[in-house]
Structure 1
Amino acid sequence: MSSSRETPSLGAALDPRSIAVIGASENPNKIGGRPLLYLSRFGYRGSVHPINPNRAEVQGLKSVPRLADLDASPDLAIIAVPGEAAVAALDECAAVGVKVAVMMASGFGETAGGKAQERRMVERARARGLRIVGPNSQGLANFGSGAVASFSTMFIEAAPADGPVGIVSQSGAMSVVPYGLLRGRGIGVRHAHATGNDADVTVCELAAEVAQDPGLKLLLLYLESIPDPHHLARAAATARERGVAVVALKSGRTPAGQAAALSHTGALANEDRVVDAFLEQHGIWRARDTGDLVAAAELYLKGWRPDGRRFVAISNSGATCVLAADAASQVGMPLEPLGPETQQALRRILPSFAATANPVDITAALLTNSGLFGQILPVIAADACADAFLIGLPVAGAGYDVPAFARDAAAFADGTGKPVVVSAPQPGVAAAFRAQGLPVFESEGAAVRALHQLIAHHELVARAAGRPVPEPAGRPVPEPAGGREGTHRLLNEAESLARLAASGVPVVPHRLCRTAEEAVAALAALGGPVAVKGCSGEVAHKSELGLVHLGLSDAGAVARAFAACRDGLAGAGAAFDGVVVARMARGRRELMVGAHRDPSFGPVVVIGDGGRYVEALPDTRILLPPFGPGEVRAALASLRVAPILAGVRGEPPVALEAFVACACAVGRLMTEPGAGIASLDLNPVLVGTHEAECLALDAVVVLREGAA
Structure 2
Amino acid sequence: MEAPLTTASRRRHTWAPPPDASEIVKRVHAMLHPRNIVVVGATDKPGNYAERIWNNLIRYGYEGGLYPINARRETIWGVTCYKDFSSLPDAPDHVLVLVPARFAVQVIRDAAAAGARSATIVTSGFDELQDADSQRLAAELQQAVRETGLAVTGPNCLGNLSAGERLFTNIDDRIVTMEPGPVAIAGQSGAIVMAIRQTLEDRGVGIGYMVTTGNEAGLETPDLIAYYAADPQVRVIVVYLEGVRDTRSFRDACKAARAAGKPVIALKLGASEGGRAAAMAHTGALAGSIETFDAISTREGVIRARNMDELIETTECFVHASLPRGDRLAAVTLSGGKRGLLIDAFHSAGLNFAPLGQAASAKLANMLGPGSIVGNPLDAGFAAVVDPSVYLQSIKLMIDDPDTDIVIIDAELPKAPHELRERNLRIVNEIAGRAAKPVIYISAMSIGFTEFTKGLRRQLAHLTVMQGMDRAVTAIKSLINYASLPKEVPDVVSSSKAPARALLEKTLKAAQGAALDEVASKKLLKAYGIPISKEAIAQSAAEAIKIAKSIGFPVVAKVVSPDILHKSDIGGVVLDINSPAEVKKAYEAIMARVKKLKGKPRLEGILIAQQVKADLELVVGASLDAEMGPVVLFGTGGIDIELMKDVALSGAPLDEAEARALIARTKAGVKIAGYRGKGPLHEASVVKALVGLSNLIADAGSRIASIDVNPFLINARTGVAVDALIVLNNAAAQKSAEDAATH
Q: Same fold (TM over 0.5)?
A: yes
2:491 corresponds to which residue?
Answer: 468
The match for 1:92 among 110, 124, 133 is 110
CA distance in 1, matches of 2:154, 2:511: 35
Number of residue pairs aligned between Structure 1 and Structure 2: 674
Give the direction of change, closer, same or farther, for the CA distance of 1:67–1:434 in structure 2 (3 Å limit).
closer
Given candidates 151, 154, 159, the residue that maps to 1:139 is 159
Three-state SS of the structure 2 residue aligned to 1:49 is strand
Work out whether residues 423 and 440 of structure 1, in 8 Å CA contact, stay in contact via their aligned partners in 2: yes
Checking the alignment, whether the CA contact within 8 Å between 2:258 and 2:300 is kept in structure 1 is no
Instruction: Pick the aligned partner of 2:481 from 445, 452, 456.
Output: 456
1:315 and 1:362 in contact (8 A); partners too: yes
2:334 aligns with: 316
Distance 2:213 2:253 in 1: 16
Deviation at 1:179, TM superposition (A): 0.9
Within 5 Å, give how 1:545-584 maps onto structure 2: 545-572=570-597, 573-584=600-611
In 1, Cα distance between the equivalents of 2:532 and 2:668? 23
| Equivalent of residue 431 in structure 2, options 412, 421, 437 | 412
| Aligned position for 1:171 | 189
* Structure 1 residue 233, shift from structure 2 partner: 1.8
Cα deviations by residue, 1:579-633 (Å, 9 ceiling, x for unpaired): 2110111011111112222233221222211112323442222211132233333
Q: 2:32, 2:143 → 1: CA distance? A: 23
1:182-331 maps to which residues of 2 (within 5 A)? 182-252=200-270, 271-302=289-320, 304-331=322-349
Distance in 2 (alpha carbons) for counterparts of 1:116 and 1:175: 28
| 1:665 paired residue among 684, 687, 692 | 692
| 3-state SS, counterpart of residue 627 of structure 2 | coil
AA in 1 matched with 2:526 = A
1:501-523 per-position Cα deviation (integer Å, ceiling 9, x unaligned)? 11100010111222333211111
- Offset of 1:293 from its aligned partner? 1.1
SS in 1 for 2:639: coil
Q: Structure 1 counterpart of 2:519, which letter? A: A
Amino acid at match of 1:492: D
**For residue 265 of structure 1, what is the aligned residue in structure 2?**
none
Q: Which whole-Å CA distance do the structure 2 matches of 1:34 and 1:270 have between them?
A: 41
CA distance in 1, matches of 2:538, 2:470: 63
Corresponding residue of 2:53: 35
The 10-residue stretch of structure 1 (28-37 or 393-402) with the greater mean CA deviation from structure 2: 393-402
Alignment match, 1:127: 147
Alignment partner of 1:587 is 2:606: no
Asked if 1:498 corresponds to 2:520, the answer is no
Cα 1:431/1:151, change in 2 over 3 Å: closer
What secondary structure, in the 3-state scheme, does the structure 1 residue paired with 2:690 have?
A: helix
Asked whether the 8 Å contact 2:654–2:690 carries over to 1, the reply is: no
The structure with more helix, counted as a fraction of residues: 2
Whole-Å separation in 2 of the counterparts to 1:202 and 1:55: 35
From 580, 602, 613, the equivalent of 2:629 is 602
Q: Which runs of 5+ in 2 are unaligned?
A: 1-21, 278-286, 495-509, 733-743
For 1:464 and 1:606, locate their aligned partners in 2 and report how far apart those are by CA, in whole Å: 25
Matched, 1:14 2:39: no
Change (3 A) 1:252 1:335: same
Using the TM superposition, give the Cα deviation of residue 86 of structure 1 relative to its aligned residue in structure 2, in angstroms.
Answer: 2.9
SS, match of residue 128 in structure 2 = coil
Structure 1 match to 2:504: none
Change (3 A) 1:204 1:621: same
Note if contact 2:36-2:64 (Cα within 8 Å) is conserved in structure 1: yes
User: What is the match of residue 677 of structure 2?
Assistant: 650
**Deviation (angstroms), 1:447:** 4.4
Provide the residue aligned with 1:402 in structure 2.
421
Larger mean Cα displacement after TM superposition, 618-627 or 217-226: 618-627
Structure 1 residues 618 and 433, CA, compared in 2 at 3 Å: closer, same or farther?
same
| Compared CA separation, residues 675 and 315, structure 1 to 2 (3 A) | closer
Q: Aligned to 1:605, what secondary structure does the other structure show?
A: strand
Distance 2:488 2:63 in 1: 39
Tell me the residue number matched to 1:436: 460
CA distance in 2, matches of 1:704, 1:487: 11
Maintained 8 Å contact 1:283/1:457: yes
Give deviations 1:55-82, integer Å, cap 9, x for gaps.
2122233221122433654222111122
Secondary structure (helix, strand or coil) at the match of 1:178 reads helix
Cα deviations by residue, 1:100-133 (Å, 9 ceiling, x for unpaired): 2211121211111223430222113312333432
Moved more, 28-37 or 521-530: 28-37
Aligned to 1:160: 178
Change in CA separation of 1:344 and 1:303 when aligned onto 2, cut-off 3 Å: closer
Counterpart-to-counterpart distance in 1, 2:222 and 2:46: 31
Partner SS for 1:247: strand
- Secondary structure class of the residue paired with 2:49: coil
Q: Residue type of the partner of 1:563?
A: E
Tell me the SS of whatever aligns to 1:364: helix
Quick one: distance in 1 between partners of 2:577 and 2:605? 17
Q: Amino acid of the residue matched to residue 326 of structure 1?
A: D
Give the Cα separation in 1 of the matches to 2:180 and 2:149. 31
Compared CA separation, residues 270 and 377, structure 1 to 2 (3 A): closer
What SS does the corresponding residue of 1:157 show, helix, strand or coil?
Answer: coil
- Contact 2:157/2:215, CA 8 A, preserved across alignment: yes
Aligned equivalents of 2:697 and 2:621: distance in 1?
11
Q: How many angstroms apart in 1 are the aligned matches of 2:418 and 2:165?
A: 47
Deviation, structure 1 residue 394: 7.2
Displacement of 1:194 in angstroms is 0.5
Structure 1 distance, partners of 2:395, 2:299, is 38
So what's the TM-score if we normalise by structure 2? Answer: 0.83
Tell me which amino acid in the other structure corresponds to 1:416: A
Q: Which has the higher contact order (CA 8 A, sep 6+)?
A: 2
Asked if residue 390 in structure 1 is aligned to residue 408 in structure 2, the reply is yes
Instruction: Give 1:21 deviation, angstroms.
Output: 0.8
* TM-score, normalisation: structure 1: 0.87
Summarize deviations over 1:220-241 as a string: whole Å, max 9, x none: 1011111122232222222222
Q: AA paired with 2:529?
A: G
Q: Distance in 1 between matches of 2:436 and 2:676?
A: 44
Q: Which moved more, 1:24-33 or 1:301-310?
A: 24-33
Gapped runs of 5+ residues in structure 1?
Answer: 260-268, 472-484
Task: Provide the secondary structure at the position in 2 that maps to 1:33.
Answer: helix
Question: How far, CA to CA, are the matches of 1:525 and 1:486 in structure 2?
Answer: 30
Matched residue, 1:541: 566
Query: How much identity, in percent, do the aligned residues show?
Result: 28
Following superposition, the deviation at residue 364 of structure 1 comes to: 2.8
- In 1, are the aligned partners of 2:92 and 2:111 still within 8 Å (CA)? no
1:40-97 CA-to-partner distances (Å, cap 9, x unmatched) read: 2323232222111122122233221122433654222111122323344334334434
Aligned partners of 1:66 and 1:39: how far apart in 2?
21
**Residues 124-170 of structure 1, C-alpha deviation per residue, up to 9 Å, x if partnerless?**
331233343211111122111123222223xx334433211111010
1:475 match: none
Aligned equivalent of 2:371: 353
Structure 2 counterpart of 1:630, from 657, 660, 678: 657
Say which is worse superposed, 567-576 or 291-300, in terms of deviation: 567-576
Cα pair 2:156 2:215 within 8 Å, conserved: yes
Mapped contact 1:9–1:209 kept (Cα < 8 A): no
1:22 to partner: Cα distance: 0.6
CA RMSD, 1 decimal: 3.3
**Residues 403-425 of structure 1 deviation map (CA, whole Å, 9 limit, x = unaligned):** 44224322432343111112368
Q: Residue 455 of structure 1: SS of its match in structure 2?
A: helix
Q: Does 1:529 align with 2:549?
A: no
